[in-house]
Amino acid sequence: MNCSTPIPGFRSLARCLLALACAAAGGCHSSDEEKLSSYLEELEFEAPLESATCIPVGEFRVPLAIRLSDDPREPPTWMRISFLLFAEVNPKDRSAVEDALQRYNGPLRDAVLRVCRRTGPDELSDPRLSAMKARLADAAKPLLGEHRVRQFIIDKYVSESL
């Protein structure tokens, strides 16, 4: 997986969107359009995509007991989720994160399993898995470095009944 692919034509896309927005709003004054256009050109991204590196964290297969109702007498539904986990980092932090992955492999895998088992059925049905990734970041950042990991990427996610 390569996270360093730049977005082609981003600035021209932004200008086209600006022109469409101005046309839809009944037109912009020339000076307002120029100010907004120059602002978009000068806009600095905190972490541009071109500077991202993905580090494989591991492959996970986690069996889960999901309760579909609040009734404790009803048996849980068993399922398994499988996915590949990647950490998106700044290239200058790559070696530090790789070292931390080696050092804290066991605790990190335990944290991932714990987060997955505490994830509810509604969160597992989210196509972006936003809540699960946020909890993964909260659990893993103390091990890998608070400001080294930008986000976690879940790839090849599969959920199946057991």
Q: Does domain 52-161 have CATH number 3.30.479?
A: yes
pLDDT tens digits for range 86-108: 999 999 999 999 999 999 999 99
DSSP lists the bridge partners of residue 160 as: 80
Taking the model in full, what pTM does it have?
0.68
The answer for 25, left when phi > 0, alpha when psi is -120 to 50, beta otherwise, is alpha
Digit-coded pLDDT (tens) for 114-158: 999 999 888 998 999 999 999 999 999 899 998 899 999 999 999
Q: Is the pLDDT of residue 44 over 70?
A: no
Domain ranges of the chain: 10-49, 52-161
Characterise 12 by phi-psi region: left (phi > 0), alpha (psi -120 to 50), beta (else).
alpha
Per residue in 46-67, pLDDT (tens digit) is 555 557 899 999 999 999 998 8
- Residue 57 three-state SS: strand
Amino acid in the structure at residue 111: A
Phi and psi at 118, nearest 5°, equal -95, 0
Q: Quick one: DSSP state of residue 49?
A: G
Q: Which residue has the tokens 């009803």?
A: 74
